[in-house]
Amino acid sequence: MEIKFLKLIKTIAEEGSIAGSSEKLFLTQSALSHQLKDLEIQLGFKVFYRTRNKWELTEEGSVLYKTACTVMDSIGNGLNAIQQIRAGAAGVIKISTECYSFYHGLPMFIQRMKVLYPEIEVDLVLEATHQPVEKVISNEIDIAVVTSKPSGNKDLVSIEIFEDEIFAVMHQENLLNDLEYVAADNFLDVHLIIHSFPLKTVSVYEKFLNPNGIMPVKISAVPLTEVALEMVQANMGITCMPKWALSSFRLSDELKLKKIGSKGLKRKHYLVVRKSDIGKKYVSDFLLNFKEYFQNFG
């Protein structure tokens, strides 16, 4: 039975007449009577006894009325629940990342979110790059993308996204290209091109060189990846990046990717968010979509 018929039965039973019911249902009295007649023919029994002043439910009609009340109440409760959910589906999310490689993927993801979730506004905060976790704690941003899982703060939640591998990018004529992999001490005489200082935000230094007590003879900060790759193309130094961060660039065949360390330099990426924000629907929608989008980058 269609919902409209249950609504019709409920309204007539509560109004007690066709006249009052037609106004509530926005139907003419003739149209309402016609619908009720068709319903009774379809059911094979009368729903109402017609009297001059009042329409009363038959025994079968009383059962239908109770059913109509249950169904309509259930629909109303469901719609209210959906409204409450949707009320929490809108919001502003400020995000930053300690890994500059992510800035090659974030704009496309933010554009995707605008299409799928126009009620969620995503703000990329570049100024928080060097201290994203601290900025989450101080409520200056909402989500940080980091490569080291923070510990010791019960107010934060870390969500693993994916694991990738960093490679040394060099010109084919670079002496290091003859090696099977680049060892830590091979970096001693290298001109290392990074995105920016401080060095603690540079994965190859923080996770590989510093633990081995190695400092390259020269380190240059070049904020533009295109320029850094041009310098590598001219054999002026090497840079270190994951493969997925290079996918948007047209690389020369003269550029080679070399494994860092005998086992490779791998790192995990995490989303860090305040525990108090996890229950917000617009935040959970963002987190789920972020993980789905970036999990194939590894």
How many separate domains does the chain show? 2
Residues 117 and 183 in one domain: yes
* 190-201: average pLDDT: 93
Measured between alpha carbons, how far is residue 33 from residues 17, 63, 207 in Å? 11, 20, 79
Residues 159 and 11 in one domain: no
Residues 179 and 56 in one domain: no
Residues 140 and 32 in one domain: no
260-270 per-position pLDDT tens digit: 999 999 999 99
Q: Extract the tokens encoding 1.
A: 């039975």
What range does the domain containing 73 cover? 3-87
Which runs of consecutive H residues, i.e. helices, occur in 88-189?
106-116, 132-137
Residues 124 and 260 in one domain: yes
Q: Identify the CATH number of the domain in which residue 116 sits.
A: 3.40.190.290
pTM of the model: 0.70
Residues 54 and 185 in one domain: no
Instruction: Please tell me the predicted confidence (pLDDT) of residue 177.
Output: 96
Determine what percent of the chain is predicted with pLDDT higher than 90.
73
Which of 28, 52, 87 is a domain's end point? 87
Residues 180 and 96 in one domain: yes
CA angle at 156 for the pair 109 and 121, rounded to the nearest 5°: 30
Helix (H) or strand (E) segment spanning residue 66: helix 59-87
Q: Extract the tokens encoding 146.
A: 């980091």
45-68 per-position pLDDT tens digit: 999 998 777 889 999 999 999 999
Residues 60 and 208 in one domain: no
Residues 80 and 95 in one domain: no
Q: Extract the tokens encoding 42.
A: 């379809």
101-130 per-position pLDDT tens digit: 788 788 889 999 999 998 899 999 999 988
